[in-house]
Amino acid sequence: MLAVEKLNKAFGALQVARDISFHIEKGARHAIIGPNGAGKTTLFDLLTGAIKADSGRILFSGENITRAGMDVRARAGMARSFQQNNLFADMTVSENLLTALVVARGYGCKMWNRFVGSDKLATDVIKSAAKIGLADALSEPASGLSYGMQRQLEVGLAMASDPKLLLLDEPTAGMSPEETKLMLALVASLPVSLTVVIIEHDMDVVFQMAQQVTVLDDGAVLFEGTPDAVRHSDVVRARYLKRAK
Ligand SMILES: Nc1ncnc2c1ncn2[C@@H]1O[C@H](COP(=O)(O)OP(=O)(O)OP(=O)(O)O)[C@@H](O)[C@H]1O
Ligand SMILES: [Mg+2]
């Protein structure tokens, strides 16, 4: 699904990606961990095309997308949620999902009025809300939702494009144990064919949801393996676990 080969990126003198290489199989649940400033979000920016790599290659579904724009990558099936909430705060849950569906389907402005009232779209909004546990909150403004629900809605917006690859940047950050449990259940309920990459600080969450883990440190891959291998890795223990939040 995704292959990254010797990816490099510098912001001025700061090297934030150093020869990063890894690959992720279709349908995998893959975690990226690493201390603050390790370059995890920057890696998502490189994958989605928000920033361009200085060198290296990114292959998505076998296509070389290294130089492709964000729109091309999104249309090819990449979606992400952000470390900070990225919702339309004044709009309701229903309107947020509707907007995401209309945009994802490329209906454009002229088509907007024709589709907004359509039964199909209304049904899809309800289905999307049900998938993220927000079926009973359709007419709530996003700003009125609990923090955990807001983050669930954000996953719903990312899922609106029916992506092949979903990138989640710290989806459980700042959550209560109860909210974290709900987010874990949401991730577990995603289609098995969907490939999911999660940046996550909470090691318990990593161990519960990921089959494979890439550990980043100072822009480079420090270790890669199963959650168990990460748990028992001396190099990870020494460099990361002690420093983790
Ligand atoms: N646009 C930018 N310009 C300059 N430096 C940047 C930019 N974006 C990120 N950085 C720097 O790159 C490094 C990696 O940042 P990044 O946000 O990728 O880390 P992270 O692993 O996601 O950290 P956190 O766990 O805190 O979210 C940091 O030192 C950061 O300050
Ligand atoms: Mg980050």
- Ranges of each domain in the chain: 1-77+163-245, 87-162
Which residues are near ligand 1 (CB < 6 Å)? 11, 14, 16, 34, 36-42, 83
Index of the ligand 1 atom closest to the CA of residue 199: 22
In ligand 1, which atom is closest to the CA atom of 170?
Answer: 27
**Protein residue closest via CA to atom 26 of ligand 1:** 36
pLDDT of 242? 57
Ligand 1 atom index nearest CA of 39 = 18
Q: How far is the CA of 39 from the centre of ligand 1 (A)?
A: 6
For the cut 60, the answer to whether the pLDDT of residue 27 exceeds it is yes
> What's the pLDDT at 135?
96
Write a three-state SS string for the chain.
Answer: CEEEEEEEEEECCEEEEEEEEEEECCCCEEEEECCCCCCHHHHHHHHHCCCCCCEEEEEECCEECCCCCHHHHHHHCEEEECCCCCCCCCCEHHHHHHHHHHHHCCCHHHHHHHHHCCHHHHHHHHHHHHHCCCHHHCCCEHHHCCHHHHHHHHHHHHHCCCCCEEEEECCCCCCCHHHHHHHHHHHHCCCCCCEEEEECCCHHHHHHHCCEEEEEECCEEEEEECHHHHHHCHHHHHHHHCCCC
Residues 123-181: tens digit of each pLDDT: 999 999 999 999 999 999 999 999 999 999 999 999 999 999 999 999 999 999 999 99
pLDDT at 245 over 70: no
Class of 1-77+163-245 per CATH? alpha beta
Q: Is the pLDDT reported for residue 83 higher than 80?
A: no
| pLDDT band, residue 223 (cuts 50/70/90) | very high
